[in-house]
């Protein structure tokens, strides 16, 4: 695929469950102009550690056009990333009820995905760089979190409750 057919899109997670995030975690994606918004949404969801799929979602472009599977929006399985230019920005909302809000910015066009950490040219939109801690989409903090009780106590020895599979694990001082 030719270099001019690719974009580098930065996606920053701005807020979720009505709470702004700071510092904002984010990812950089290699995206071909021929990829659909639905393909890009799936890549973002995977890179942002979303596990409860599918949820409602949509993109809101700078001109107010909505793209997604929801009624009244352009069909995200048909609309391609297309002619976005460097500096263009748009929003991605995952789970319209919980409002996981993302700012998407085209940071490089044209873009050569072969000059990244990727091993070749990907078939689908693909993250190639990232930063920050990602919150759980439902706000869960441990395996049996119900959102009501305080968290489990940390063991006196940080690794004392683990099996001795790695050096320092399972060692009580």
Backbone angles phi, psi at 89, to 5 degrees: -130, 150
- The residue ranges of every structural domain in the chain are 3-131, 140-173
CATH number of the domain at 3-131, please? 3.10.290.30
Structural tokens at position 33: 């102009």
What digits encode the pLDDT tens for the residues 121-167? 899 999 999 999 999 888 888 888 887 888 888 878 888 888 999 98
pLDDT at position 120 is: 83
What digits encode the pLDDT tens for the residues 9-58? 999 999 998 899 999 999 999 999 999 999 999 999 999 999 888 779 99
């Amino acid at each position: 695929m030719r270099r001019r057919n690719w974009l580098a899109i930065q996606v920053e997670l701005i807020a979720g469950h009505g709470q702004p995030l700071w510092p904002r975690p984010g990812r950089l994606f290699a995206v071909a102009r021929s990829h659909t918004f639905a393909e890009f949404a799936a890549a973002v969801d995977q890179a942002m550690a979303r596990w409860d799929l599918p949820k409602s979602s949509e993109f809101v472009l700078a001109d107010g056009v909505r793209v997604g599977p929801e009624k009244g929006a352009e069909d995200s399985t048909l609309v391609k990333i297309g002619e976005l230019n460097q500096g263009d920005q748009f929003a991605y909302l995952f789970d319209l009820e919980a409002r996981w809000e993302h700012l998407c910015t085209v940071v490089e066009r044209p873009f050569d995905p072969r000059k990244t950490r990727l091993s070749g040219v990907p078939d689908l939109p693909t993250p190639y760089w990232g930063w920050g801690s990602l919150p759980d989409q439902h706000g869960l903090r441990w395996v049996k979190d119900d959102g009501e009780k305080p968290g489990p106590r940390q063991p006196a020895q940080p690794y004392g409750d683990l099996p001795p599979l790695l050096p320092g694990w399972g060692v009580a001082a």
